[in-house]
Amino acid sequence: MGKCHYCDDGHIEVRNIKIDGKPIKLYACTNAQWIHENEVTELSKESTCSFRIFQNSLLRWNKKAIGEREIRNLLENEQITVRLYSSRAKSEYFKYAILDEEYGISIIWDEYVEKEEAS
């Protein structure tokens, strides 16, 4: 899908995993081997990189899933515009999201985004 930004030779691939019995996509670096066991996700000892983005990383802000196209865009441009939803205001809003070594993806909260930019 794109080059990993946190190690030399890794690239990001899609993996279909299950968490709590639910299928979910994990976008992970090829140098990161994740072990999913008993609802705990651990990095194997052989891994040399830990970068990954869970498909539902932005669920807390009511974005159900991050699509493969969004991930490709993010890896290429290091920033994408994401559509989020405020259940309090009952309206959607847009924010920039960037790569984050620890969380995979993070939202830039203090920057106002007018509307979704064509990407």
User: Taking contact as CB under 5 A, which single stretch among the options 1-9, 57-65, 89-97, 98-106 is the one that binds Zn ion?
Assistant: 1-9
Among 25, 28, 51, 70, binds Zn ion (CB under 5 A): 51
Residues 6+ apart with CB under 8 A from 82: 58, 63, 66, 70, 94, 95, 96, 97, 107
Counting contacts by CB under 5 A, is residue 27 touching Zn ion?
Answer: no
State how far the Cα of 47 lies from the Cα of 35, in Å rounded to an integer. Answer: 11
Counting contacts by CB under 5 A, is residue 4 touching Zn ion?
Answer: yes
* 62 within 8 A of 85, measured Cβ to Cβ: yes
Nearer to Zn ion, 30 or 81 (CB): 30
Give the footprint of Zn ion on this chain (CB under 5 A).
4, 6-7, 10, 29, 31, 49, 51
